[in-house]
Structure 1
Amino acid sequence: MTDTATGPMASQIRSRLETALAPDRLEVINDSHHHAGHMGDDGSGESHFTVIIESGHFSGKSRVERQRMVNRALADLLARRIHALSIRASAPEESERK
């Protein structure tokens, strides 16, 4: 089961990715409950996330380039607030939904 995140950190992630990458699809999933009490758990309940993002900005880009684009959009959050981020990035032409 996935938990589509709605907390303050998830909202910031969503807003920044929408602004930077104009995604056709964006899911921000809070995985923090899987890591409660572990290293990196800051007690906020918003420290570990998965992002599933589809954007035309990813067309022709490698997996590493796509991850770097997401990381750039979230750089200061990754440095201070997000302990772990899993990224699944695709271009529209790669969509499984077609």
Structure 2
Amino acid sequence: MSNAKACLVFTRRLESKVPEICKNLVNEGFDVCTAVADPEVVEAAQLGSISVPEYVKVCILNSSICIFLIPEKNLNVCRRLPDTLGAQGRKLSLSLKT
């Protein structure tokens, strides 16, 4: 039986946080894929846009949980995220402030 998949999408500015988060996810039993992208791409992915690079899209679509690392100044975007994910039949499982 394979592990559940987790997707971690982040900007280069927050790359230093990725190893610890990945380690925690693996310890929780997840297989982790990561995708680094420009802030605009991360924001678009958070909002459910299909106009993101294929590597980001594949990571998201093949996962049961998605985590987006965003700078604190962009947290207003997260307020719209539960509605967006709910419309896609997904749940908001985790919220991180970095």
Q: TM-score range by the shorter chain?
A: 0.3 to 0.5
Determine which structure has greater relative contact order: mean sequence separation of CA pairs < 8 Å that are 6+ residues apart, divided by chain length: 2
Per the normalisation by structure 1, the TM-score is 0.32
Per the normalisation by structure 2, the TM-score is 0.32
User: Which has more helix, going by share of residues?
Assistant: 2
